[in-house]
Amino acid sequence: MQCFLPRSLPCFFQRLLSRCLVLNPILMLVCLSACSSPQGESGDGAADSTLQAEVQSFLDLYTEEYLELTTVAREAEWSSNTRIVDGDDSNSKRTEAANEALARFTGSEDAIAKAQSYLEQRSNLQPIQTRQLEAVLYEAANNPQTVPELVSQRIAAEAAQVEKLFGFNFQLNGETLSANSIDDRLVRSVDPKERLQLWEASKEVGRVLKPSLGDLVELRNSTVQALGYDDYFAYQVSDYGMSVEEMMKLNHGFVREIWPLYRELHTWARYELAERYGVAEPPEMLPAHWLPNRWGQDWAALVTVEGLDLDTVLGSKEPDWLVQQAEEFYVSLGFDRLPASFWEKSSLYPLPDDASYKKNNHASAWHVDLDTDVRSLMSVQPNERWWATTHHELGHVYYYMSYTRPEVPPLLRGGANRGFHEAVGTMLGLASVQKPFLVERGLIPADVETDAIQTLLKEALDQIVFIPWSAGVMTHFERDLYTGLTPDQYNQRWWSYVRAFQGIEPPAKRGEEFCDACTKTHINDDAAQYYDYAVSAIILYQMRGHIADKILNQDPHATNYWGRQDVGDFLNNILELGATRDWREVMQESLGEEISAAAMLSYFEPLRGYLEEANRDRTHTLPETPNL
C-alpha cells in the first residue's frame, strides 16, 4: 500500500501523520487508508469504528490548530476594539495578519476536501462528528484558500471598516461626542432643535463608511461563492440549517403576528410625541429625531414608570457595582462565579475624558480561547439601561462557561443557534428589572406603588417595537445588500423599509450622499445576521413563559428569579448543550413547542385594551396588515 503525500500538506495534516506513526501502528494504517481506500464504502461495525477513529484524529488535530489561531485572532480583535488610536493602524495590521493566518488554516483546500469526503459517509459517523465536520466546512466557506487573494482583501477591508466605524469623531457645534453621549442626550432632550442636531450628527459616520461598503459586500459574496453559496446572506442563514426563503418566511411571520399591537403602539407614539413637542397635527410617520433611539429600534424611554425610576436609584452607585450585582444574580441561580481573569481582562467602563485612545462603545461578550478566557466589552454607567445590559452581557458569558466542558467539542461551543445566545441574555436582563426582583435586591421598597399597565407599555415599546426593526428593516435590507443592491440605492432602499416596517421617516430628505444604514454597527461587522436578534426576541418570551408557568408558578409580568436554582437548572440544561444538537430539537425538548410569537403576544395581551381605548379617537396611519 502506497500513499503519496503532497509537499504542501498543511502542518496539521503533517502532525496528524506524525502522531499516527509515533503513537499507534494501527492508527497509522487508518491515516494512510484515507489516501488509498475508496471513500463512501461502508462495511461492518469494525469498518465504521475504523472510519470514526480516522475522523476523530482529523478533528482532534484540526481543533488543536484552530484553537491556537482563533485565540491569537480574537486577542487581536480585542485590541482593535478596546484601544483605538488616531493615526496608529498597528492594531488593525495585527488583526489583519491574525485573521489571515486563521483564514489560511480554516479555508485550507485539504481541510475542505477531507471534511467533504468524510461527510459523504455521514451514515457511518457519530452525530457529533458530523456536526463538527459541518462546522469545519462552514468556517472554510468564509475563508476558502481556493481564492486566497479574495480572502486577504476581504479581511483587510473588514479591519479597515471597523477602524473607521469605531474611530469616528462625532461632532456637535464643535464639541466631540461619544456614542454613549449621543444616546443619553436623545433620551433626555425635550428640545426638537437639539434632537435634530444630535440625530444628524449621529448619521455623519455613514458618509465615511459608505465608499467602502460596496467593495466589502462584493468581497464577502465572492469569498463564499467559491464554496457554492449564492451570496453572503445565504451563507450566514445556512448556520440555522435553513434556506434564505425559509428564514425570510420565518421573519415575515414574526412581523405579521405582532403587527396589530405594533400598529397601536405607533399610533399612541405619534400622538404622545406630537403633544410633547407642541405639534398640533401628528404626522403620518414618526419623525426619526423624535424618538429616543438613533434607529428607532427602542422607544422605552418614552415612558417613566412611577416607583421604578432606576436611573435615580442607580445614579448613586459606582459602575463596577452594577457588574458585580449581575454576577451575584447568576450565582444565586446556581452558576459559578466569574473567573478572576474576567475582571482582569475585560474592558467594562467608559474611558476617562483625557484618554489618549478610544474604544468600541457597543456592548459585547467574548469567548477568546473557547475555554476559560471569557470577557466583556462595555461602557457601564450607573443607570437603568446599563443595569439591564450588564445582566444581558453576563448571560452570554455564562452561556460560554456552561458549554465549555469535555462533552462539547470546541468546534461546537456556540449557542443552539445564534439567536439562543441573545435570547438568554435579554431574558435575564428583562428579569432584572421586574418589580419583585428589584424588591428582592433592595433597589425599591416592597410597598412602592407601580402602574402595571405603564410597566407593560414601557416593555412593549422596547420588545414589540424591536420586531419590525429586526425582522423587518434590518433583515430585508441586509438580504438586498448581498443580492444586488447597488451603492446608489442604499439610502433610498433603507428608508423605504424604515417607512414600511417602522412607520418612521427622516426629518428631511436623505440623499445618496448619506448611508444611514452604515451607521448601524451590524451592517459593517457581524454582518448579514441581524435576524438573530428577531429570533432571540421571540424565543426569550417562550422561555420566559415556560419559567413563569412551569417552574415559578408566578405571574410572568412580576417574576423573581433570584435564588431559584430550579430556574438555573432549566437554563443550564439548554446552555450546556452548546451547538451539539439542532436548535429545533432543543426547543421541542426544553419548551415542547416550535418557534412562534404566540408567547410574546400572550404576555402583552393586557396592554391591548389600554392602547385601543387610548387610540379610540385617533387616526391610524399604518395599514392593517404589514406590506411584506
Q: What secondary structure does DSSP assign to 404-422, as a single string?
A: -STTS-GGG-S-SSHHHHH
pTM: 0.88
Q: For residue 37, what pLDDT is reported? A: 41
The reply to whether 585 falls in a domain is yes
Residue 553 backbone zone (phi > 0: left; psi -120 to 50: alpha; other: beta): left
d(CA 528, CA 520): 12
Query: Quick one: which H or E segment has residue 171?
Result: strand 170-172
CB 578 within 8 A of CB 413: yes
Angle at 449 between CA 447 and CA 451, to 5 degrees: 150
Pairing assessment for the beta strands 364-367 and 374-377 based on DSSP bridges? antiparallel
Pairing assessment for the beta strands 286-287 and 175-177 based on DSSP bridges? unpaired
d(CA 309, CA 169): 32
Query: Quick one: which H or E segment has residue 435?
Result: helix 435-440
The reply to whether 353 falls in a domain is yes
CB 429 within 8 A of CB 540: no
Angle at 132 between CA 337 and CA 220, to 5 degrees: 95
d(CA 426, CA 394): 10
d(CA 55, CA 31): 9
Q: How many helices (H) and strands (E) does the chain have?
A: 26, 6
Strand runs labelled E in 265-419: 286-287, 364-367, 374-377
Query: Quick one: which H or E segment has residue 326?
Result: helix 319-332
Cβ burial, residue 625 (10 Å; 0-12/13-18/19+): exposed
**DSSP-based three-state secondary structure for 615:** coil
CB 560 within 8 A of CB 554: yes
The letter for the amino acid at 172 is L
CB 561 within 8 A of CB 547: yes
CA distances from 440 to 342, 382, 388, 390, 426 (A): 26, 19, 16, 18, 20
The reply to whether 628 falls in a domain is no
CA distances from 182 to 130, 202, 392 (A): 47, 7, 22
Comparing C-alpha atoms, which of 466, 463, 452, 442 is closest to residue 557? 452
Mean pLDDT split into 10-residue runs, the chain, 628 residues: 35 46 39 42 69 98 98 95 87 90 95 96 97 97 94 92 90 90 93 96 97 97 95 98 98 98 98 96 98 97 89 95 98 98 97 91 94 97 94 97 98 96 93 95 93 95 98 98 98 98 97 97 94 96 97 97 98 98 97 96 97 97 94
The reply to whether 356 falls in a domain is yes
Residue 296 backbone zone (phi > 0: left; psi -120 to 50: alpha; other: beta): left
Residues β-bridged to residue 504: 286
For the record, the C-alpha cell of 316 comes out as 448613586
For the record, the C-alpha cell of 361 comes out as 462603545
Comparing C-alpha atoms, which of 388, 420, 423, 427 is closest to residue 548? 427
The pair phi, psi for residue 416, each rounded to 5°, is -55, -40
The pair phi, psi for residue 277, each rounded to 5°, is -100, 10
d(CA 579, CA 586): 10
Q: For residue 44, what pLDDT is reported? A: 60
Angle at 249 between CA 498 and CA 268, to 5 degrees: 40
Comparing C-alpha atoms, which of 520, 530, 476 is closest to residue 203? 520
Task: Count up the domains in the chain and report the number.
Answer: 1
d(CA 198, CA 185): 8
**DSSP-based three-state secondary structure for 479:** helix
**Whole domain around residue 593: which residue ranges?**
244-614
Other beta carbons within 10 angstroms of residue 28's beta carbon come to 16
How far from chain centre, in Å, is Cα 509?
31
The reply to whether 100 falls in a domain is no
The reply to whether 20 falls in a domain is no
Q: For residue 39, what pLDDT is reported? A: 41
Other beta carbons within 10 angstroms of residue 584's beta carbon come to 15
Q: For residue 515, what pLDDT is reported? A: 98
For the record, the C-alpha cell of 350 comes out as 467608559
Comparing C-alpha atoms, which of 481, 422, 522, 472 is closest to residue 250? 472
Angle at 74 between CA 68 and CA 78, to 5 degrees: 145
d(CA 311, CA 320): 16
The letter for the amino acid at 174 is G
CB-side neighbour CA atoms (13 Å) of 483:
14
d(CA 346, CA 84): 16
CATH number for 326: 1.10.1370.30
d(CA 613, CA 435): 26
CB 11 within 8 A of CB 46: no
d(CA 471, CA 599): 17
The reply to whether 572 falls in a domain is yes
The reply to whether 73 falls in a domain is no
Residues β-bridged to residue 567: none
d(CA 409, CA 57): 13
